[in-house]
Structures are given as C-alpha cells and as structure tokens.
Amino acid sequence: MLKYIIRRVLQTIPVLIGVSILVFSLMHLIPGNPAQIIAGEGASEQTVRQIEERLGLNDPIHIQYFNYMSGVLQGDLGNSVRSGRAVSDEIAARFWVTVELSFYATVLAVFLGLMAGIISAVRRYTVADTAIMVIALFGLSMPNFWLGLVLIDWFAIGGDWLPEWAKLRPSGWGDSWRQVILPVITLGTGGAAIIARMTRSSMLEVINQDYIRTARAKGLTDRIVTYRHALKNALIPVVTVVGLEFGGFLGGAVLTETIFAINGMGRLTVQAITQRDFPIVQGAVLVLSVLFVFVNLIVDISYKLLNKRIDLN
C-alpha cells in the first residue's frame, strides 16, 4: 500500500506541471496588461514600463514561468496584482469556504444518489423506478445557475408562503444554517442524479450474480442481501464517480459562489480573471488541482477497503 501511495504521488508531479504550464500560458494569451492595471488608466507609458521591468513581464514567457515555479517550490505563489497581498494569504482566506461547500454538496449527492439508486434497482421496472429515473434526468439537465436562481426566488426573496423563521438567506456563507442550504442543494443536485444512475446500473449488475442468489437461498432477508452483499460490491464504480463529482463541485463552485455571493475560491478566481490578476488565477487553479489529485488518491485507496481482492501494487 505504501509503495502504491508513493508511486501515485510521484505520478501526480507531471500532471501538476502540465496544469501549471497550461494555465500560465492561457493567462498570458488573455488581452490586458497587468502593469497597466497596477499603474492605473492615466499612467504614463514610462511608468508602465517600469512596473513591467519590476515584475519581470519583459522577460520571455519561459523565463517568467521558470521564475514563477521557482517561487512555488519555495511556497511563494506571488503577490496579487490588484491588492498587493500575497496570493497564499488571499487563497487561505477563501479556501476552506469552497472545500466546505464542495464537501456538503458531496455528502448530499451521495446520500440522495445512493438511496435513489438502491430503491430504483431493487424496484426495477416499477413506477418508483421510472419516477426516480425521470427525476434524476431532470436534476441532471438543470444548469446550476438556473436552479440557484429558482431556489432563491422560491425560498428566500419570493418565499411569502414560508414563515419568517423558515426563510432561507440567499447570500453569504457560514453565519447561519439558512445560508448553507440553498448553495448546497444547487451544487449537489446534479451530482446526486449522476450517482443515482450509476448506483442503479451497478446494483442491477450485482443483484443478478450467483452469490446473491445463494445468499437469498440461505434465507437471508432482502435488507441484508441488498446492503451487506450487493451494495458493497456495487460501490466501486460509484466511488469513482463520487471522486470525480467532488472535483466537479470544486469547478462548479465558481457559478454557485457567484450566484449566492459566497467569498470562496470560485468567486475569487472569477474576479481575478476579470481583473487580469494572473498570480491569483494561477495560484487558485494550482491549489484546486492539488486538492483534486489528493481526492482521487483517496478514491483509489478506498478500492482496497471495499474489495480486498484488488491489488494496488
């Protein structure tokens, strides 16, 4: 197991380098001059050139990249073009907000998706199965930004049918439980639909196996057969989807945080892109990439916990 973890960590290094090169290159292709932004609209050309010289923007792009990565390896992600603060400080102030939002959305998606998928598989080809799959298709088809606006209208701004204590707050994060519910539902609904469909498909493959029929022939109850035998063996592809969905939630948080005015990594990245704040964008993408790789490593290790026969070496 330890050898596998070390090997996987080493394999992530080229991936992260590739991500950093891609993001660094794309940022420099976007129109706009960070030096001009720092100097201001009315600054003279000489002032802009001095700032470019100070920031190293006159160097060839590969030299700029090398200097940037040298700082990253020393824990220095640079300074924000707009605020002048260290990028690491800007990210640290927003990082856990996005992680919390993505984690809660994942928990909601896993809970709803597993329950819906199991019920749909056990009661396959019934009205319940059809209804669950139709709802899952609807949840999968709804864009986050549309669902978020609808939920705000129903349960916050236009929720006249709700008592005052039950109205949910449409903006902010962490001050009250009423701020958390709408963003989590908005972000987690699509993931729940995907997990439900995957759970149903995986369960249908498993419950027709010989060992499931043997378990039933021994007189075990349907509940024990479903949850102790069938579900455990059906979870491996589902766990893979959950890991990918968590990464999707990190990216989907951009829209959700913007809609609900949540000061997380997603909103910080959007603001940095519009302001041509290259160091913030590069640092945010790099941090989220490391987190996504780490989550996928945990998913791979969990395969061994679910099925002892899987050889990770």
Give the pLDDT score at 79: 82
Q: Is residue 78 part of a domain?
A: no
Give the pLDDT score at 107: 92
pTM of the model: 0.82
Alpha-carbon Rg for the chain in angstroms: 24
Domain end among 48, 73, 98: 73
Q: Is residue 79 part of a domain?
A: no
Cα(147)–Cα(138) distance, integer angstroms:
11
Query: Are 62 and 111 part of one and the same domain?
Result: no
Instruction: Report in angstroms the alpha-carbon separations of 306 from 27, 198, 234.
Output: 42, 17, 10
Give the pLDDT score at 308: 59
Give the pLDDT score at 311: 59
Total number of domains constituting the chain: 2
Domain that holds residue 101: 88-306
Cα(313)–Cα(310) distance, integer angstroms:
9
Cβ atoms of 52 and 58 closer than 8 Å: yes
Query: Are 136 and 270 part of one and the same domain?
Result: yes
Cβ atoms of 246 and 293 closer than 8 Å: no
Q: Is residue 80 part of a domain?
A: no
| Phi-psi category of residue 125: left, alpha or beta, with phi > 0 → left and psi -120 to 50 → alpha | left
Query: Are 53 and 110 part of one and the same domain?
Result: no
Give the pLDDT score at 239: 83
Instruction: Report in angstroms the alpha-carbon separations of 81 from 232, 277, 281.
Output: 50, 5, 11
Contacts of 129 (CB under 8 A, 6+ apart): 119, 120, 121, 123, 200
**Closest among 71, 49, 100 to 263, alpha carbons compared:** 100
Cα(265)–Cα(61) distance, integer angstroms:
26
End-to-end CA distance of the chain: 7
Give the pLDDT score at 131: 92
Cα(111)–Cα(105) distance, integer angstroms:
10
In tens digits, the chain (313 residues) has pLDDT values of 677 777 877 888 888 888 888 888 877 777 666 777 666 666 777 777 777 777 777 778 888 888 888 888 888 888 887 777 888 888 888 889 988 999 999 999 999 999 999 888 888 888 988 999 899 888 888 888 888 888 888 887 766 666 665 677 777 787 778 888 889 999 999 889 999 998 888 888 888 777 777 777 877 777 777 777 777 777 888 888 888 888 888 877 888 888 888 888 888 888 888 777 888 888 888 888 888 888 887 877 777 666 655 655 5
Give the pLDDT score at 161: 63
